[in-house]
Amino acid sequence: MTEQTGGTSDSAVPAATATLPPAPQEQNPPVVPATDPAPEAVAPEATAPEPASPRPPNRALRAVLRWTAAVLVMGGLGAGTVAGITSMKRTDVPGLSTRDDGRWDYPALSLPALPADAPRPYSDSNQAEVHHADLRRLLLPAPAGAAVDKELDGGWTDIARYAAEYGKDDRATVSQFLKDSALRHIAARGWTMPDGTSSRVYLLQFNSVAYSTAFHDALFDNGSLPYPLAGEDEPVIDEDWTADSAGENTTVRAYSEAEPFGAEQVRHGYVLAGDTLALVVNRREGKAGTETVPFHQTLVLQSQLLG
C-alpha cells in the first residue's frame, strides 16, 4: 500500500550622527563652599516619618510558587500525552502488546523491484495496468508455522491445477474460458496451518486489464456465483468483510459458506488488480470451520501487494 524561510540581515545599519554646538559657558561662576551651612532646626513634631524599608523577599515562598508552577505545567503535559495515547489504536503505541485475535504471523512484506524503465501498474503511462514485476514475487508468502504445499510452492502452475479449485461440473467451462482468453501465466502458493486450515493463493495474469476484467465478470452473475468452489455449498457474501484496508486500485469480493456447512467450511475471495486476478481460498474440516480474521488478513495483504 503519495518552503521558504525568511531571515534578517546580520549587517548592522550605522546610526546617523550630528554635530552639536558647544554648550554656553557661564561667566563668573559662583564659588561653592566646601561645606553646606547647617540646616535650620525643625521641630520634632514636624519631622516626617521615614518610609519603612521593604521586607526582604520570602525565599521559601518563592520556591514553593516555582515548584507549584512546574508541577502544573508537567501535569498539563502529562494529561496531553495520556489523551494522545488513549486516542490512538493500541497497535500504534510502541511497547504495548495486542491481544491475540487469531491473525497469522506473516513475514514483513515489500514490493519487488521493477525492470529498468518499467512503469508502475497504475501510472498514466501504463494504460493496460500491467504488473511488470515478476508475478511470483507478488505472491503472499506463507505465514510462520505453516507447512508449505510442495506442489504449490510459489512457482508457476497450469490451468488444470487452478480449475481443480472449482466443482467437477464447472472445471471444463472455467478451463476453456481461460484458454480462449489472453492469459499469460498463473503463479500459486499453498500451505496448511497447525489448526488444519489450508490456504491457496493463485495469481492469474492477463495481457491487459480488459482481459482480467472479462474473466472476473464471468465469475459472477448479478452478485451470484455460477461457478462455486469444490465442496462449497451455497456460498454467500461475507458480511463481515470491509474494504477499508484493501490495496488501492483493487476490487475485492469475499464469500463464505453459510452454516450449517458439511464436513468442511470454505471461504474464498477474488482480488481484481489491473491485469491480474487473485483467488484466495481457505478450507478447514470440522464443525469449527474456518476463522474469519486470518481469511480477511490474507485478502488484505494480497490486495496490498497487487495494489
The CATH number for 297's domain is 3.40.1000
Query: Is 43 a member of any domain?
Result: no
pLDDT, residue 7, reads 41
Residue linked to cell 498514466: 124
Residue 251 within any structural domain of the chain: yes
Task: Please give the pLDDT value at position 150.
Answer: 95
Asked whether residue 66 is assigned to any structural domain, the reply reads no
User: How many other CB atoms are there within 10 angstroms of residue 215's CB atom?
Assistant: 20
Among 142, 255, 235, 158, residue whose Cα is nearest residue 190: 142
Q: Where are the beta strands (DSSP E) in the chain?
A: 147-157, 183-192, 198-206, 235-237, 251-257, 264-273, 276-285
According to the model, what pLDDT value does residue 208 have?
Answer: 94
pLDDT recorded at residue 119 = 94
Question: In this structure, is residue 171 part of a structural domain?
Answer: yes
Contacts of 166 (CB under 8 A, 6+ apart): 174, 227, 228, 229, 230
Structural domain harbouring 298 = 144-306
If one counts every other C-beta atom within 10 angstroms of the C-beta of residue 79, the result is: 10
Residue 94 confidence (pLDDT):
39
pLDDT value, residue 182: 94
Tell whether 112 is covered by a domain.
Answer: no
Per-residue pLDDT of the chain (307 residues; tens, 9 = 90+): 334 344 433 433 333 433 334 444 444 444 444 444 444 444 444 444 444 444 544 555 555 556 555 544 444 434 333 333 233 343 433 333 444 789 999 999 999 999 999 999 999 999 999 999 999 999 999 999 999 999 999 999 999 999 999 999 999 999 999 999 999 999 999 999 999 999 999 999 999 999 999 999 999 877 678 999 999 988 899 999 987 878 889 999 999 998 888 889 999 999 999 999 999 999 999 988 999 999 999 999 999 999 9
Q: Where are the alpha helices (DSSP H) in 91-200?
A: 159-163, 171-180
The gap between the terminal CA atoms of the chain, to the nearest Å, is 6
| Confidence at residue 4, expressed as pLDDT on a 0 to 100 scale | 39
Task: Report the DSSP pairing between strands 264-273 and 276-285.
Answer: antiparallel
Task: Supply the pLDDT for residue 61.
Answer: 52
8 Å CB contact between 106 and 304: no
Structural domains of the chain, count:
1
| pLDDT at position 258 | 85
What pLDDT, on the 0 to 100 scale, is given for residue 299?
97
Please check whether residue 192 lies inside any domain of the structure.
Answer: yes
Residue 134 and residue 115: Cα distance in Å, rounded?
9
Q: Is the bond into 260 cis (omega within 30 degrees of 0)?
A: yes
Q: 64 in a domain, yes or no? A: no
Q: Within 55-94, where are the H helices?
A: 59-86
253 is a domain residue: yes
pLDDT at 15: 38
